[in-house]
Structure 1
Amino acid sequence: PNQKSRQSGNALDFFLKAIPSKRNLYVNEQVSVSYKVYFRVSVRNPEFVKLPETIGFWVEEFDLPKDIPITQEVINGVRYNVAELKKLALFPTKSGELRVTPMRLALDVVQRRRRDPFSMFDDFFDDPFGRTVRKVLTSNEVVFKVRPLPVNSQLSNFSGIVGSLTMQVNVDKLSVTVNDAISYKIKLTSSGNLKSLKKLNIDFPTTFEVFEPKTRQSISRAGNKLISVKEMEYVLIPRTTGTFQIPALKLVYFDPVSGKYRTLSSDAYEINVTPAEGVEGLTMNNYVPKSEVRLLGKDINFIKEEELHLQPRGYRVYNTPGYWITIFSATLILGIALAYRRYLDKMGTNVEYARKRKAYGIAKHRLKKAHQFLKKGELAEFYGEVSRSLIGFVADKTNTPSAGLLKDEVLKLLTDRNVEKNMVEEFGAILDEADLKRFAATQVTPEEAQQFYQKAEQLLTRLGKYF
């Protein structure tokens, strides 16, 4: 507890406390830290002065009620009102002793004539009586002992997930025709950090064309633990007929409760592919419509009864403009198709290239999502999404893992790219403002939030020329 808090006898009248759900854990295991203010006098207008530093952790924030509920606790025989102001979910990214620095909180303490200390239960943040004094409270530091995951040389398909995990896999069709699309869906639900999920190795049939999966991820921020859901949908196009096997998908994760690796396994699927209607042969590349050509014997085409068009003597098709236009158009189309195919291949195999190409679009999409939060008045979510948009853009453009990426590390990445110093400072200021205001969103006006959004959007556009 902070020594600045006024005392009555030997008991503190108010103090700020950081409470971890546990102190010993594994790398990438979820742990929560609650920040609670304890008070026996009237207080109001809380404001975060300094947020805790969480070096070595990937951090998410829990959703807390806008109307903060007040509970009561007895400590050493003294009854306190208690309000939970902030709650973090931390995922350690390395082993060893990791520290979360103290948080500082400013609030107004109402000083008045002695009265029943619990009569202010309903006016926690809005006591209109008495003289107020601004106080700054400092929480305790939290120290964690983080163990590395056990070494298991037999593991070749560890997913990277630490925590509970469930998996659902389904295929929408088991019988299709050639070139008919198949949807292969995977849904993962976990208390672990699904952002650390490694790329899945799924053994699809080699004659199936497999497109990059559509991915959607959401996080439930209520309750005692964050629960993440990740959904992936692969579109498969069979190019040949036959019966094909999609083997069971196996995912290995680490269960921190038992301290053991566990394996989830889906069902295997058998896909029956038949020729498309009106197609002869095994593949679309081999089919010939019956109405086009019929062979009589070995080398005689059927006779077509139609008007005969003759050309003058000396006529050469390659001397006509139409011939060269056709040749040029076909060559151009072929070149574009080959270039696009190479682009798709590169996007599918070169992760660094794909991240850099998609970085701006993903960042703009996140900003649009942030703007939706702004329209709904969900300012804490708005500031968090803007911060993730900017950090994610730099991480993608520099092919840097975004998990656990700190502000100083992001600014160094920008400096290494020779981004102008004033722009780097502006980037850092925006991140600081986002962190501060998402924890004190009730004090932000919609006009201020809109101006902040415009600053972030303009900064993202200006950063584009450096990458």
Structure 2
Amino acid sequence: MFKPLTKYLLKSVEKTLSGRLCLSAKAFVEGEECNDEAISRFMTESQDCFTLRVRNDRALLRVFHLTLLSLLLLFACGGVFAQDIAVTASVNSNVIAINEQLELNIIISGNASDLPNLELPQIANFTAYSAGRSQNTSIINGQVSSSVAFRYALVPQNTGKFTIPALSFQYKNNTYATQPVNVEVVAASSSGPQAANAAPGAARRNGKDIFITASVDKTSAYVNEQITYTFKFFRRIRLLSNPQYSPPDFSGFWTEDTPPKNYFAAYEGSQYQISEIKIFLFATKPGKFTISPATLQCSVEDFSPADISADSFFMNFFSGGKAQTLRTNPVTVSIKPLPENGRPDDFTGSVGRYELSAELDRKTAAVNDPVTLSLKVSGSGNIKTISEPKLPSWPDFRKYETVSSLNIAKDKGEVSGSKTFKTVIVPMTPGDKNLSGLSFSFFDPAKNKYIKLRLPALSLSVKPGAPGQAPQNSQPAESTVKLVNRDIRYLKTPAKWHEYSGPLYKNPWFIILNILPLLGLAAAFFTASYRDKLSGDTALARHLGASAAARKYLKQAASLLSEDKSGEFYCAISRALLEYIADKTNLSAEGLTGAAITDILSKRNISAETINIIITVLGECDLVRFSPSRVSLETMSKTYESAGRLIDMLEKGLKKK
């Protein structure tokens, strides 16, 4: 971000030198080299070049020194504000069989608290499933560092040598990428599961040889309560190719997928090889939902013992088999709203079974010393949607922004893990302090009631600060001091002026006052260039202004949060989403149908889950607008919050390429 300004400043200097700017100075700015040796060479050669022209003009030489100083300040600022982010990718093995799974681990680490959430793109020749994530955040002496580990299970679709491409993401206008990983997929071993398929020509037994099923562990649940959707593929004949699975539409649900499992089991008196996929669902609103059928395409042997003496035996043996498309039945689920009775004031929507713990990173501190408070919510449920517990008001402490870390596991038949919130608090007065009032509320569907967890007070001994350091907020309370009279007036001593005897150009204030106009000139240059660019690029102008325009519609919707204005409210929500997508993609909002939105956002690598939620929200808007009905304020508020979250998610995904 500093390179354009640096080039502009050097161009001004070059004009002053009548075009005789040294080559090393140009290379320093136009190239990628920026180290101590390059800076030293740049300073020396630039000054020599300048001295050729203004050898006897000391005043102009000082101005040149100030210009170089401003450039170096810009380089220093670029180094100070750059954040050290590292990303790595690794696999558990570089050679796997076609019937095995590849474990892919991606780790992002750096000195920041808001590390991005990685969305894995489609990888050719593999089907990817999320296997969980873990995150660790630490705050040491006010410096935040964190790391996020994403785990994926990749199921190979073909044999051969493949390359998992470099996975890239953007973070604060910088692009980071992993290294490519080479993998070889070989044929299944003779002892693997594929060998258990029926041999060619084996006699068929009673019952089906290949079929699929879909089921849920419960047909009635509360909003945000976990529902386990299970897809099973049964077979007892040989497959001639890996099957292609197409999941159903899970609109109206948050989803957490899991890696598939392969095992053998008896079903209706026959032994089958079974491939099983579990999807954990969390409903976003009450109502009746129908999960569409899942489909599976595969190629199987088209062979029977009756053909053994016929010519068709050889035709079937050497043919590509018979293609089959299997389809499950739709599944209907009824979602109940959370009860109103007994709802705690601090309840934010968490459903499941949770525990709460808290700790301080130290037992003793001094006034104005930072102390890290860690609140950890752990258990089973929709961990991602857990909101930050509201901290009580502690008048003797100053609180700073909270950072969170997330750990998710899916290996026990449910979504479990923890979410940790770390807040830096600073004691302002000495003494023995008790941090009380820490709590967290959630709804337990197994017990059918709300539960509020309360923690005992945390103790912290605060010592006075260093000598000469006045504690903040140290004035006495108004109730303990009474003002009697203003009979004492403090004497004001004359200010002392210190004469500066050194050269004027070495005075810090002189340097600052000379740099400020230079920075102002640079700011004016960038502002004019930016406006010219927007005036000539309508697509860019719409792209950059999309968020602000959407926020205006959301603000309008917030003012219409009333049961009597539900139609106008849902119209504003619909306009916010449609206009935002249209501006980001430089299209007309009038032609954005559900199919068009799905196609556009899919090409922009927006996750299918996010697209489904967008289509669901727009469908709700159309339903209320064109079929007027009474909608509760609670439902409208949730729709408003969903729209805001969607725009935030799209803002990260629809960046200008």
- SS of corresponding position for 2:581: helix
Aligned partner of 2:349 in structure 1 is 160
The structural deviation recorded for 1:464 is: 3.1
Aligned partner of 1:420 in structure 2 is 586
The structural deviation recorded for 1:270 is: 3.0
Q: State the alpha-carbon separation in 2 of the partners of residues 331 and 235 from structure 1.
A: 35
Q: Any gaps of 5 or more consecutive residues in structure 1?
A: 1-7, 116-127, 287-297, 302-308, 333-393, 401-407, 436-458
Decide whether the 8 Å contact of 2:343 with 2:450 is kept in 1: no
Q: CA 1:95 to 1:179, structure 2 compared with 1: closer, same or farther past 3 Å?
A: same
Aligned partner of 2:331 in structure 1 is 142
- SS of corresponding position for 1:69: strand
Whether 2:218 is the aligned partner of 1:22: answer yes
Q: State the alpha-carbon separation in 2 of the partners of residues 262 and 229 from structure 1.
A: 18
The structural deviation recorded for 1:461 is: 9.4
Moved more, 170-179 or 145-154: 145-154
Moved more, 83-92 or 322-331: 322-331
Aligned partner of 2:390 in structure 1 is 201
Deviations 1:53-108 (A, max 9, x none): 011100110133xxx42222323xx4141423421000011112111111111111
Aligned partner of 1:45 in structure 2 is 241
The structural deviation recorded for 1:419 is: 1.9
Aligned partner of 2:434 in structure 1 is 245
Aligned partner of 1:120 in structure 2 is none
Q: CA 1:32 to 1:398, structure 2 compared with 1: closer, same or farther past 3 Å?
A: farther
* Percent pairwise identity: 22
In the TM superposition, 1:332-411 aligns within 5 A as: none
Decide whether the 8 Å contact of 1:30 with 1:191 is kept in 2: no
The structural deviation recorded for 1:167 is: 1.5
**What is the root-mean-square deviation in Å for CA atoms of aligned residues?**
4.5
* Residue number among 414, 423, 429 corresponding to 2:603 in the alignment: 429
Decide whether the 8 Å contact of 1:202 with 1:249 is kept in 2: yes
User: Which structure is richer in relative contact order (CA contacts within 8 A, separation 6 or more)?
Assistant: 1
Aligned partner of 2:227 in structure 1 is 31
Q: State the alpha-carbon separation in 2 of the partners of residues 316 and 36 from structure 1.
A: 87
**Residues paired across the two proteins, number:** 328
Q: State the alpha-carbon separation in 2 of the partners of residues 310 and 162 from structure 1.
A: 67
The structural deviation recorded for 1:226 is: 1.3
Letter in 1 for 2:247: L
Deviations 1:350-404 (A, max 9, x none): xxxxxxxxxxxxxxxxxxxxxxxxxxxxxxxxxxxxxxxxxxxx9999689xxxx
Aligned partner of 1:223 in structure 2 is 412
Whether 2:438 is the aligned partner of 1:264: answer no
The structural deviation recorded for 1:50 is: 3.2
Aligned partner of 2:366 in structure 1 is 177
Aligned partner of 2:283 in structure 1 is 92
Q: CA 1:205 to 1:326, structure 2 compared with 1: closer, same or farther past 3 Å?
A: farther
Letter in 2 for 1:26: Y
Decide whether the 8 Å contact of 2:369 with 2:426 is kept in 1: yes
Aligned partner of 2:75 in structure 1 is none
Aligned partner of 1:446 in structure 2 is none
Aligned partner of 2:301 in structure 1 is 110
Q: CA 1:238 to 1:330, structure 2 compared with 1: closer, same or farther past 3 Å?
A: farther
- SS of corresponding position for 2:297: strand
Q: CA 1:30 to 1:463, structure 2 compared with 1: closer, same or farther past 3 Å?
A: closer
The structural deviation recorded for 1:330 is: 12
Q: CA 1:51 to 1:320, structure 2 compared with 1: closer, same or farther past 3 Å?
A: closer
* Residue number among 363, 379, 394 corresponding to 1:190 in the alignment: 379
Whether 2:266 is the aligned partner of 1:73: answer yes
Deviations 1:166-211 (A, max 9, x none): 1221112232101212111112113211232234210152342322
Whether 2:60 is the aligned partner of 1:60: answer no
Deviations 1:317-339 (A, max 9, x none): 9x99948538859999xxxxxxx
TM-score, length basis structure 1: 0.59
Aligned partner of 2:510 in structure 1 is 325
Deviations 1:206-241 (A, max 9, x none): 342322222111210212111132112111122333
Aligned partner of 2:122 in structure 1 is none
Q: CA 1:267 to 1:84, structure 2 compared with 1: closer, same or farther past 3 Å?
A: farther
The structural deviation recorded for 1:141 is: 1.0
Q: Which has the larger radius of gyration?
A: 2
Q: CA 1:246 to 1:460, structure 2 compared with 1: closer, same or farther past 3 Å?
A: closer
Letter in 2 for 1:417: D
Aligned partner of 2:61 in structure 1 is none
Q: CA 1:310 to 1:59, structure 2 compared with 1: closer, same or farther past 3 Å?
A: closer
Decide whether the 8 Å contact of 1:205 with 1:245 is kept in 2: no
TM-score, length basis structure 2: 0.43
Decide whether the 8 Å contact of 1:112 with 1:129 is kept in 2: no
Q: State the alpha-carbon separation in 2 of the partners of residues 203 and 327 from structure 1.
A: 44
Q: State the alpha-carbon separation in 2 of the partners of residues 310 and 429 from structure 1.
A: 67
Name the one with the larger helix percent.
2
Q: State the alpha-carbon separation in 2 of the partners of residues 190 and 397 from structure 1.
A: 40
Q: CA 1:398 to 1:14, structure 2 compared with 1: closer, same or farther past 3 Å?
A: farther
